[in-house]
Structure 1
Amino acid sequence: MRATTLRRALAGLALALAAGAAPAADAPVQLPGARQFDITSQATGQRYRIFVSEPDAPPPAAGYPMLVVLDGNAAFPVAAFLARSVASRRERTGHPPVLVVGVGYPGEADFDVSARRRDYTVGVSAPGEEGQEGGAERFLDFVERELRPRLAARYRLDASRQALFGHSFGGLLVLHAALTRPASFSTYVASSPSIWWNGRRVLDGLDRALALPPAAVPRLQISVGALEDEPPPGRLPPQTLAMLAQRPMVSEARALAARLQAQPAWHERVAFHEFAGENHGWVWLPALSRGMQFFLDQPEAPAAAGRDKDPS
C-alpha cells in the first residue's frame, strides 16, 4: 500500500473512532405509546393539552377501560406508568389494559395555577369573578361532550368502565362530578378534595346524590394525607398554619366518606384512605396508585358478565 493511501485510510479510521467516541446529541424524552394534541373547547373557550397513553395490547371485547386524570402535565406520566405496569402483569392479574388520558394545559408548568382555579372550582366566590373561578360545569361539559366523543372516535372504549382522577382543586371537581353527574363516569377518585372551597358549596349536591337508586350510584374513592391538617411542628410559618386551620382537609374528607358509607346504596361503593405521613403536596401519588387499583377492581357490568371470555 502506498504511503498516501495508508495515510488516508488511517485518517478515515481516526475520524470514525472520534465519531463513535463523541457523546450522542441530546433528544427529547418520550413516553412509550404516548401522544398529545391540543384542543380548544367550545364550552369553556380555553385551550387544553391532551395526553394519551395507548396500550400495546388490543382492546378487550368491551373496549379499553379509560382513566382520565386532571392536571395532566404532572399526573399523566405517573398514570401512564401505572397503566403500563398493569398491562405487563395482566396475565397474572386478569386486569385489562387501560387507556390513560391526561387533561392538561399548554406550557411547561406541572400545574397551571390560574387555569385549574378557573376550571376546577364550584360556584363563583364573589361578584365579577366569573371566568376566573367557578368553571366546573363548563369544564365538565367539555370533558363529556367534546373530549370523550373525540377519544371514542379514535379508540375502542368501554363506556361502562371509565374513571376520573383529580387532586386538591382537581379532587373538588371530581367530587362535584360524582355528586351531580354520577353517570358520567363509573368511578371517581378524589384526592384531597378542597371541600372547604366557597363555603363547602360542593356539598350542595349531596342530598340529591344520597337519594340515588342503588343502580345509579357510582364508585367513589376519597383520600387525604394524614399530615394535611396537622403538619409537623416547626416546618411552616404561623400565617400558613392559620390558613390551613381555615381550610380543613382531613376532617372534611373523613366526615363526607362516613356520611356516604352510612347509606346502604353507597356503603359498598365508597372507599376512604387516610395516608399516614403524607402531606398535601405529595399525597396525590399514593392516591393515584390506590385509585388505579380501585378502578380496576370494579366488578363487570351485568351486561358484560355473560360475554364469552378469551380462554387465554
Structure 2
Amino acid sequence: MKLLLLLCGVLLLGNLHAQGLWPAAHIRQIQSRVLKEQRTYTVYVPQSAHDSLVGRQRYPVLYVLDGESQFQNTATVLEQLSWQRVLPEAIIVAIHNTDRIRDLTPTHIKSGLYMDQRGAATSGGGEAFTRFLQQELMPRIDSTYATAPYRMLIGTSLGGLFVVNTLLHHPDLFQAYVAIDPSLWWDDAKLVREAGNLLAQPKFAGKTLYLPVATAFKEAGDTVAAAARNTVERRAFLAIPDFITELRKHPASGLRWAAKYYRTEGHNSVPLPGTYDALRHAFSTHQQLSIDNVALLEPAVTKLRAPVLQDSLLAVCRAVSRQLGYTVRPPEALVNRLGYTYLARKEFAAARAFFQLNQQNYPDSFNVYDAMGDYYSAVGDKQNATREFSKALTIYQYSETRQKLQTLQAKGGGKNVRNPDSR
C-alpha cells in the first residue's frame, strides 16, 4: 500500500501537532489490594497499535517510576528514536506516586544522611510495592495491551534504588533495569553491602542493567577524603562507585551492564540523557534497522542484490531477537517500502519477494494484500490482483482499494491476462 510510505514519515509529527503532545497517552487507575489504595498510571501505546491498515504486533513494555515527573523524558526519547527505527516501538507504563518514600525504599530506617525522622516514618514498603507490580499491575497491562515478553524498569534517585533492589532480589521480573543516579546510600548503603553475595549467583543471564551517574556539583576531592574515613558519609558518597566495583568483580553473573558518569549533569538533570543512553544500550542491536543504515536498507545506495538484502535484513532481525529474547519480525513498513521501491524500478521478482515476506509475517494486515494487489496489477495479472484487493477489503474497507478493485472488474478482472512469473 503506497499510503504506508507516507505514513512512515509524517504520521508521528502530524499527530503531535494536531492532537496535542501525547495523543496516545492515557491516565488509568487500578485498585490495589496489596497496597490498599487506588493507584494511578499513565499508559502510552504506539500509534501503530491502533492503525487498521497494518498488521498487529506486540510491544516491549517500559515501566517508569515517578511517572508524573519522568513520563515525558521517556516518551520523548522513545517517540523520536522508534520513529527512526533506532529503538523498537514500545508501551510505556508510568506509575504515579502516593507515598514515594514508602514504595521505593527496601528497608525501614528511623532517619538517615539525607532523611529526617519525619520523612523516614513510612519507609520500607518496597517489597509490598514489588508485589503490587508483579501481582496486580503487570497482569493488568498484559491482559489489556499487546505486550511482548520483554519488560524494562526505569527509576531515578530513590526509584533507582528500587530498580537495583528489584534486580538483585527479583531478577526475573524484568529483562532490563535502568537505575538513574540511584540512592544507594540508603540504610548505610545496605544494598551495596549485600550486592557481592547476590551477584555471585549465576541468575542474571539475559538481564541488562544501565547505570547513569551524575557527578556535576560534587567536589572531586571528596572521594579521596571520604575514602580515608569509615563513616556514614563516606559510605554514602562511595555507594555507587562501590556498587560498580561489585559489578566488575562478578562477570560470571551473566548480567550485561554498563555505567556512565555524566560530568556536566546534576542529580535532577541526568534523567533525560540517562534515559536516552539506557534505551540505546538495552536495544543496541536494533540500531541495525535504523533509517540511517542506508548501506543495508536503501536500494538506491546498497551494493547488495535484492535477495542478499533480504537475507541481511532477516539476519539483523535474528540478532535483535537473540538480544531481546523473543522473535522480532522485519518491520512491516520497512519491507513495504522496499517492495514498492523495487516495483517502481520494475524489478518485479524482488518486489514480489518483499511483499510475500510481509504476507508471511503479517497475515492479518490489510496493507500486505493491498500491496500484493498493486504488484499483480503492475505485471498485468488482473485475476490475482482482484483476489488480493478483495482479500484486503475483507480486513479493512479502504476507499482507494475499493476503487482499484472496481476498475479491474470493469476491465474484466476475472481474466488472467499475463503470467507474472514469466518476467
Contact in 2 for aligned 1:191/1:222 (Cα 8 Å) = yes
Contact in 1 for aligned 2:44/2:92 (Cα 8 Å) = yes
Answering whether residue 126 of structure 2 is matched by residue 142 of structure 1, we say: no
Question: SS of 1:57's equivalent?
Answer: helix
Question: SS of 1:124's equivalent?
Answer: coil
Contact in 2 for aligned 1:225/1:280 (Cα 8 Å) = yes
For 1:39 and 1:56, locate their aligned partners in 2 and report how far apart those are by CA, in whole Å. Answer: 24
Contact in 1 for aligned 2:60/2:89 (Cα 8 Å) = yes
Matches within 5 A, 1:69-80: 69-80=64-75
Q: Structure 1 or 2: larger strand share?
A: 1
Contiguous gaps of at least 5 residues in structure 2: 1-18, 112-116, 222-231, 286-319, 336-423
Question: SS of 2:190's equivalent?
Answer: helix
For 2:40 and 2:220, locate their aligned partners in 1 and report how far apart those are by CA, in whole Å. Answer: 34
For 2:264 and 2:328, locate their aligned partners in 1 and report how far apart those are by CA, in whole Å. Answer: 44
Indicate the residue corresponding to 2:143 in structure 1: 153
Answering whether residue 209 of structure 2 is matched by residue 220 of structure 1, we say: yes
* 1:41-96 Cα shifts (integer Å, max 9, x gaps): 21122332100110012499872011111000010122112121122112xx3x32
For 2:192 and 2:235, locate their aligned partners in 1 and report how far apart those are by CA, in whole Å. Answer: 15
Task: Identify which range, 35-44 or 178-187, moves more after superposition.
Answer: 35-44
Answering whether residue 36 of structure 2 is matched by residue 45 of structure 1, we say: yes
User: What amino acid is the match of 2:147?
Assistant: L
Question: SS of 1:206's equivalent?
Answer: helix
Counting matched residue pairs gives 263
Task: Quickly say closer, same or farther: Cα 1:51–1:231, change in 2 above 3 A.
Answer: farther
Task: Quickly say closer, same or farther: Cα 1:247–1:69, change in 2 above 3 A.
Answer: farther
Indicate the residue corresponding to 2:104 in structure 1: 120
Indicate the residue corresponding to 1:14 in structure 2: none
Question: SS of 2:140's equivalent?
Answer: helix
TM-superposed deviation, 1:201: 2.2
Indicate the residue corresponding to 2:77 in structure 1: 82
Matches within 5 A, 1:194-273: 194-203=183-192, 205-213=194-202, 216=205, 218-227=207-216, 229-230=218-219, 245=233, 248-249=236-237, 251-266=238-253, 269-273=256-260
Indicate the residue corresponding to 2:342 in structure 1: none
Structure 1 vs Structure 2: percent identity of aligned residues? 26
Contiguous gaps of at least 5 residues in structure 1: 1-27, 106-111, 233-243
For 1:230 and 1:295, locate their aligned partners in 2 and report how far apart those are by CA, in whole Å. Answer: 31
TM-superposed deviation, 1:230: 2.2
Indicate the residue corresponding to 1:169 in structure 2: 158
* 1:154-173 Cα shifts (integer Å, max 9, x gaps): 111112x2110111111100
Indicate the residue corresponding to 2:88 in structure 1: 96
User: What amino acid is the match of 2:45?
Assistant: E
Question: SS of 1:183's equivalent?
Answer: helix
Answering whether residue 48 of structure 2 is matched by residue 57 of structure 1, we say: yes
TM-superposed deviation, 1:225: 0.7
Contact in 1 for aligned 2:171/2:203 (Cα 8 Å) = no
Answering whether residue 182 of structure 2 is matched by residue 193 of structure 1, we say: yes
User: What amino acid is the match of 1:257?
Assistant: I
For 1:42 and 1:228, locate their aligned partners in 2 and report how far apart those are by CA, in whole Å. Answer: 42
For 1:134 and 1:278, locate their aligned partners in 2 and report how far apart those are by CA, in whole Å. Answer: 29
Contact in 1 for aligned 2:207/2:255 (Cα 8 Å) = no
TM-superposed deviation, 1:131: 7.2
* 1:147-199 Cα shifts (integer Å, max 9, x gaps): 0110111111112x211011111110001001100111011000111111112
Contact in 1 for aligned 2:189/2:235 (Cα 8 Å) = no
Answering whether residue 289 of structure 2 is matched by residue 300 of structure 1, we say: no
Task: Quickly say closer, same or farther: Cα 1:152–1:258, change in 2 above 3 A.
Answer: same
Question: SS of 1:149's equivalent?
Answer: helix
Matches within 5 A, 1:10-49: 31-49=22-40
Task: Identify which range, 134-143 or 41-50, moves more after superposition.
Answer: 41-50
For 2:245 and 2:188, locate their aligned partners in 1 and report how far apart those are by CA, in whole Å. Answer: 20
Contact in 2 for aligned 1:217/1:266 (Cα 8 Å) = no
Task: Quickly say closer, same or farther: Cα 1:246–1:284, change in 2 above 3 A.
Answer: farther
Task: Quickly say closer, same or farther: Cα 1:177–1:215, change in 2 above 3 A.
Answer: closer
TM-superposed deviation, 1:205: 4.2
User: What amino acid is the match of 2:22?
Assistant: L
User: What amino acid is the match of 2:64?
Assistant: V
How much is the aligned-residue C-alpha RMSD, in angstroms? 3.3
* 1:213-242 Cα shifts (integer Å, max 9, x gaps): 26646211112111253289xxxxxxxxxx
The normalised TM-score by structure 1 is 0.74
Contact in 2 for aligned 1:73/1:104 (Cα 8 Å) = yes
For 2:233 and 2:218, locate their aligned partners in 1 and report how far apart those are by CA, in whole Å. Answer: 7
Task: Identify which range, 76-85 or 57-66, moves more after superposition.
Answer: 57-66
For 2:258 and 2:159, locate their aligned partners in 1 and report how far apart those are by CA, in whole Å. Answer: 18
Alignment equivalent of 1:287, drawn from 274, 278, 294: 274
Q: Structure 1 or 2: larger helix share?
A: 2
Contact in 1 for aligned 2:101/2:158 (Cα 8 Å) = yes
For 2:182 and 2:218, locate their aligned partners in 1 and report how far apart those are by CA, in whole Å. Answer: 13
TM-superposed deviation, 1:126: 3.2
Indicate the residue corresponding to 2:261 in structure 1: 274
For 2:75 and 2:168, locate their aligned partners in 1 and report how far apart those are by CA, in whole Å. Answer: 27
Question: SS of 2:321's equivalent?
Answer: coil
